[in-house]
Amino acid sequence: MKDLQQQLARQGYVAGDDLAMALHLAVTLGRPLLLEGAAGVGKTEIARALAAARETRLIRLQCYEGLDASHAIYEWNYQRQLLAIQAGRGEEDIFSRQYLLERPLLQAITQAMPPVLLIDEIDRADEEFEAYLLEILSDFQVTVPELGTIEATTRPIVILTANGTRDLSDALRRRCLYTHVDYPDRKTELAILNARHPGLEAKLAGQIVGFVQSLRKEELRKTPGIAEMLDFAAALAGLGLSDLTEDPAALSAALATLLKTEADRAAIPPEVAARLAGKAA
Amino acid sequence: MSRVTRFAARDPGPMARLSAFMDHLRSHGFQLGVSETATATSALLCLPTPEPGAVRSALRAVCAGNAEQAARFDALFDAFWMDAGRVRQKAVPTDRAADHTSSSRRDEGAEPAAGAGGIHAPDGHDGGEAESDGEGLLQAARNANLMKKDLRDLVSPDDIRQAEAIARRLGAALRDRRSRRRKAARRGSVLDFRRTIRRALQTGGAPLRLAMRRRPDRPVKIAALVDVSGSMLVYARPFLAFLAGLLRADDAADAYLFHTRLTRITEALRDEDPMRALNRTTLLADGIGGGSKIGGALQHFNRSYARRLVDGRTVVLILSDGYDTDPPEAIADALAELRRRGCRIVWLNPLKGWRGYEPVARGMAAALPHLDLFEAANTLDDLAALEQRLEAL
């Protein structure tokens, strides 16, 4: 588990103990891992880092409302089929593997090396798809009626993410290991910032993290996530600031990377921002 | 750091302890089966060193199923494994008939068996049983009523049965026609290539008969919030029956009671025995018939449950008279925020049935601009009559 934590750290991903343990179990037990948490806490990033750490492919399936089997698993290549029929080929021919378009789920189970399969925002897909997914996650095989059953050559490491658009079914939750990913504490967030922007001055980095952490405690419609914090740091570095309290105008300009609705901008006027920055310093 | 629990010498070993722990979690509402115990075992076996921190993380990953359980897990883990060095006498789970009522969606048929074995006596709440029912009270009261009102006095099994039928019809009336999935259909807007090709084989490759796909209807979810403050108590009977019926008829529905606080009663009302369901609800919604804080309750709903459960396919049904002690802006703000989730909001007000009623209660007036539908409802029959209005929504 410590190994995994270090491997992820080398990819620039700082994982807490709970998360590292859950990933370790997901890999060793071959169970899917369900990650839940607010937007912007780095759920998707985990899969990317894990794939990079294990030097394997990342196959991503972005879920959306109306996603169905033909987008997620496989589809026949109809144009080629039509041409083939007109060229006089029979049924045996046109329903063979060369006319099959592989979509992410089928791709994931037919790789030579176990890939990381990221099923992003599973809660956006409808319940019907969830049921279908369950079947694949438990058997790791896909049945194409015209072709027969395609068995998995490898078992992918499956990571599902959700941020609470709707309640997931108990069946899916029970099939998965579960980790709730929260906003990182001060120390972890500082480690993340240092990993991503190694050139940043220690003092400014501390201020940025302190500022963002106190901003998260305010009542905001969209709480800034880690990605926003990194953007904010990049913006400040771009503006050439070395101290948050030094230039209130620049600070309030850089806030555009953190506060993304009109109401939130109104909730944190420049004076409040300056006060928070003063406290963080 | 608390010390590790010691176990009685005669208990049969780590496996029994683990299964006792799973039982401990189950008794605190975790939904865990035998397969989870097996997973937990193999998870522990693949840990290099059995130190408490790693065991805690590993078991949390296996056992917790949602954010709330993950948050509670630490305390439960401590209580079982870190019990200050106390000796736990019996690690072997006993065979007791648990009344796990989870979210079993069984149909009716459970006759009101007087809540056999499941009567949870109200835990004597001492402390100023000041306010009485306050029936017919027309202004809102600020203080919570601490007197227990038993919902079973209000609602009879017949009511529930009747309400169930109505709830089914209303659910059907609210069907959403905006699904984005497509299903095979005789007539539709989009070509179903797969079927078309299959049929083309019969005609030598010429796609003569086209198969189509179209978007199917999809049911909406109903989230019902019922005001049970003093002023609403006279109408509580049909509304509670409606809630009970709704939850029995519709798996996706959600129910809340509010007075000065908001309580989610979905799980309690899903109890297979309708009378026991009401009993459980009574226990949850402590303070029925007291004051009302509609704005606060809605705000609380927005911050908590709505984030998870309300989306563009939800109809939020609010049953209240609009007499509120919170400032009227609170209601307006809360409703505006709720609307932003894309749901539709229906407010059923029993007073609207009165002749010459004007929505003059300040809260009600503030709420009006944010509502999709504002209707009267006094009785179950009124609710049934809403079918057409809802269909037009």
pLDDT band at B147 (very low <50, low <70, confident <90, very high): very low
CA proximity to A258, closest of A243, B247, A267, B361: A267
Q: Which of B64, B181, B205 sits opposite A66 (nearest CB)?
A: B181
Q: Which of A180, A211, A243 is the last residue of a domain?
A: A180
Give yes or no for residue B218 having a pLDDT over 70. Answer: no
pLDDT of residue B134: 39
Give residue-wise pLDDT tens across range A138-151.
888 888 888 888 88
Structure tokens at B363: 């809260």
A201 and A135 within one domain: no
Residue A109, min C-alpha distance to chain B (Å): 23
A130 and A13 within one domain: yes
Give yes or no for residue A33 having a pLDDT over 90. Answer: yes
A201 and A146 within one domain: no
CB contact under 8 A, A68 and B31: no
Q: Which of A125, A159, A180 is the last residue of a domain?
A: A180
Note if the pTM is more than 0.90. Answer: no
Q: Which of B179, B193, B308 sits opposite A167 (nearest CB)?
A: B308
A47 and A133 within one domain: yes
Helix (H) or strand (E) holding A205: helix A202-217
> Measured between beta carbons, which residues in chain B are less than 8 angstroms from residue A86?
205
> Measured between beta carbons, which residues in chain A are less than 8 angstroms from residue B341?
none
pLDDT of residue B65: 83
pLDDT band at A245 (very low <50, low <70, confident <90, very high): confident
CB contact under 8 A, B201 and A29: no
Range B34-38 average pLDDT: 89
Give yes or no for residue A55 having a pLDDT over 70. Answer: yes
The size of chain A, in residues, is 281
CB contact under 8 A, B43 and A179: no
A75 and A197 within one domain: no
A115 and A199 within one domain: no
> For the domain that residue A172 is a member of, what is the CATH number?
3.40.50.300
A83 and A45 within one domain: yes
CB contact under 8 A, A167 and B179: no
Range B159-174 average pLDDT: 73
DSSP code for A122: G
Range B348-365 average pLDDT: 75
Count structural domains, chain A. Answer: 2
Q: Give A189 or B105, the one with higher predicted confidence.
A: A189
> What is the predicted ipTM?
0.81
What angle in degrees, to the nearest 10, is found between the helix axes of A17-29 and A2-10?
Answer: 110
Chain A residues bordering chain B (beta-carbon distance below 8 Å): 1, 17-18, 20-22, 25, 28-29, 31, 33, 36-37, 65-66, 68, 70, 76, 78, 81-82, 85-86, 88, 91, 94, 126, 128, 164-167, 170, 173-174, 177-180
Give yes or no for residue B364 having a pLDDT over 70. Answer: yes
Distance CA A161, CA B182 (A): 25
Distance CA B297, CA B225 (A): 9
Please give the residue of chain A at the shortest CA–CA distance from B42.
Answer: A29
A73 and A16 within one domain: yes
Structural domain range at position A142: 2-180
A247 and A117 within one domain: no
A193 and A175 within one domain: no
> Measured between beta carbons, which residues in chain B are less than 8 angstroms from residue A128?
181
CA dihedral B187, B193, B198, B199 (to 10 degrees): 40
Give yes or no for residue B384 having a pLDDT over 60. Answer: yes
> Measured between beta carbons, which residues in chain B are less than 8 angstroms from residue A80?
none
Instruction: Give a three-class secondary structure readout of chain B.
Output: CCCCCEECCCCCCHHHHHHHHHHHHHCCCCCCCHHHHHHHHHHHHCCCCCCHHHHHHHHHHHHCCCHHHHHHHHHHHHHHHCCCCCEECCCCCCCCCCCCCCCCCCCCCCCCCCCCCCCCCCCCCCCCCCCCCCCCCCCCCCCCCCCCCCHHHHCCHHHHHHHHHHHHHHHHHCCECCCCCCEEECCCCEECHHHHHHHHHHCCCCCCCCCEEECCCECCEEEEEEECCHHHHHHHHHHHHHHHHHHHHCCCCEEEEECCCEEECHHHHCCCCHHHHHHHHHHHCCCCCCCCCHHHHHHHHHHCHHHHHCCCCEEEEEECCCCCCCCHHHHHHHHHHHHCCCCEEEEEEHHHHCCCCCCCCHHHHHHHHHCCEEEECCCHHHHHHCHHHHHCC
Q: Which of A147, A180, A213 is the last residue of a domain?
A: A180
pLDDT of residue A37: 86
Over chain A, what is the mean pLDDT? Answer: 86
A122 and A108 within one domain: yes
Give residue-wise pLDDT tens across range B333-351.
889 888 877 788 888 888 7
CB contact under 8 A, A36 and B71: no
> Measured between beta carbons, which residues in chain B are less than 8 angstroms from residue A18?
57, 60-61
pLDDT band at A164 (very low <50, low <70, confident <90, very high): low
Helix (H) or strand (E) holding A151: strand A148-151
A146 and A272 within one domain: no
pLDDT of residue B175: 58
